[in-house]
Amino acid sequence: KYWNVEHEQIDEHNEHIKEAAAAIQHQEAVAFPTETVYGLGADATTTEAVHKIFQAKGRPGDNPLIVHIANLQQVETVAEEIPDQARKLMDAFWPGSLTVILKSNGASAENVTAGLSTVGVRMPDHPVARALLTACKLPVAAPSANQSGRPSPTTAQHVLDDLTGKVYGVVDGGPTGVGVESTVVDCTAETAVILRPGGVTKEDLEAVIGPVKTASDFKNERKQPKAPGMKYTHYAPNAPFWLMEGNVNTIQNEINRLHKEGKRVGVMASEEHAEQYQHAVVKSCGSKEDLKEVAHKIYHCLRSFNNEDVDIILGETFPKEGVGAAVMNRLEKAATKVMK
Ligand code: TXA
Ligand code: MG
């Protein structure tokens, strides 16, 4: 099923939304837009429904899913306790691109939490997601709606490219806004830890609860806190992707070297530099001065090289400030090689 609601009046009484919600209530997997990326949703309380998500995506079973909710009361249906700092973060950033990790109360299906004692919860801020979650009256488990390993989907077309024939339906609400996934914050420890940088920045979080930790704070420790999903290959376009820390000259030299070998080269460039490259298919993914724009475009840009005849993609780096931290996290994971 394909429901296009992009230009419709959206609330939980919309006919298409009601149909999609009924499918989820009947244990089907349905893709829908959120403000970050498209998600693939299913009833979080039912193992068989959740299993359909893992099957469709080809997702490893040890990678837990985020539970999406429509209102604050629903947190208590999946979490055992809500620490003070979590409460503050929820008040400040929900609905929005923040996922909090809480102690699970066991109500979620075991494949949602991948056997962990914790559960990730998020209240998204997108009219279609909110209407759908309200109409379902269920907590909805939803990972990004891409084939596992590929860039996350920021349009319904990306979802169709990856999952046609593998899911019950797709709700098309137009392109997403933020463009990178939610920030995942573990609130079960004394000091909150960012497990995955995302739409809400470290600075945003610290303004509300004071100092938070990131993975790099645990560099010298044996056991590093990580979202289980972060260890897998992620976000990769079809051709090898080399992330290059150099300037325009060093990247152009690399293009020239590859070009001489007869290779067709793609470059994922900043708007500032896009017009300076030669002998390459160049795509601009936004200005170094506007990292929100880069976040918004990044996955579309990575995916768009799959429609080009290139053997290798070279990528520029971006400042790790604000949402740039999330952009660089994704580019580093997408890269087959990082060149200094
Ligand atoms: O913006 C988003 O978060 C999107 C939209 C659809 O809401 N969803 C999303 O889900 O990105 P997914 O499955 O692609 O990424 C979920 C991340 C994974 O890295 C996973 O390991 C982590 O969250 N995660 C989920 N539950 C967890 C838990 N209990 N403890 C630690 N990490 C968890
Ligand atoms: Mg994902």
Write down the ipTM of this complex.
0.99
Most ligand 1 atoms within 8 A of CB, residue of 184, 230, 333 to mutate:
184
Q: What is the CA radius of gyration of the chain?
A: 20
Share of the chain above pLDDT 70, in %: 99
Q: Does 167 sit in the ligand 1 pocket, CB within 6 Å? A: no
Q: Please write the tens of the pLDDT for every residue from 271-322.
A: 999 999 999 999 999 999 999 999 999 999 999 999 999 999 999 999 999 9
pLDDT at 257 over 80: yes
SS3 64: coil
Residue 227 to residue 311: CA distance in whole angstroms: 32
> What average pLDDT does range 114-134 have in this prediction?
97
- Which residue has the least CA distance to atom 12 on ligand 1? 143
On whether 192 is known to bind a ligand per the annotation, the reply is no
Q: pTM, whole model, 2 decimals?
A: 0.96
Residue 71 to residue 123: CA distance in whole angstroms: 7
Q: Please write the tens of the pLDDT for every residue from 22-65.
A: 999 999 999 999 999 999 999 999 999 999 999 999 999 999 99
CB atoms < 10 A from the CB of 12, how many?
16
Distance 256 CA to ligand 2 centre (A): 35
- Please tell me the predicted confidence (pLDDT) of residue 234: 82
Which phi and psi angles does 66 have, rounded to 5°? -85, 135
On whether 287 is known to bind a ligand per the annotation, the reply is no
Residue 93 to residue 160: CA distance in whole angstroms: 30
> What average pLDDT does range 152-156 have in this prediction?
98
Q: Please write the tens of the pLDDT for every residue from 217-251.
A: 887 776 766 777 777 778 889 999 999 998 999 99
> What average pLDDT does range 163-171 have in this prediction?
98
- Please tell me the predicted confidence (pLDDT) of residue 59: 95
CA distances 89 to 164, 195, 225, 327, Å, are 36, 15, 20, 22
> What average pLDDT does range 203-229 have in this prediction?
85
Q: Does 252 sit in the ligand 1 pocket, CB within 6 Å? A: no
- Please tell me the predicted confidence (pLDDT) of residue 235: 86
- Please tell me the predicted confidence (pLDDT) of residue 229: 74
Q: Which two tokens stand for residue 298?
A: 């990044």
Residue 228 to residue 117: CA distance in whole angstroms: 13
> What average pLDDT does range 327-336 have in this prediction?
95
Q: Which atom of ligand 1 is nearest to the CA of 142?
A: 6
Residue 51 to residue 109: CA distance in whole angstroms: 10
- Please tell me the predicted confidence (pLDDT) of residue 74: 97
Q: What is the mean pLDDT of the chain?
A: 96
pLDDT at 86 over 90: yes
pLDDT at 214 over 70: yes
Q: Which atom of ligand 1 is nearest to the CA of 97?
A: 1
Residue 61 to residue 63: CA distance in whole angstroms: 6
On whether 59 is known to bind a ligand per the annotation, the reply is yes
- Please tell me the predicted confidence (pLDDT) of residue 225: 67
Q: Does 195 sit in the ligand 1 pocket, CB within 6 Å? A: yes
Q: Does 175 sit in the ligand 1 pocket, CB within 6 Å? A: no
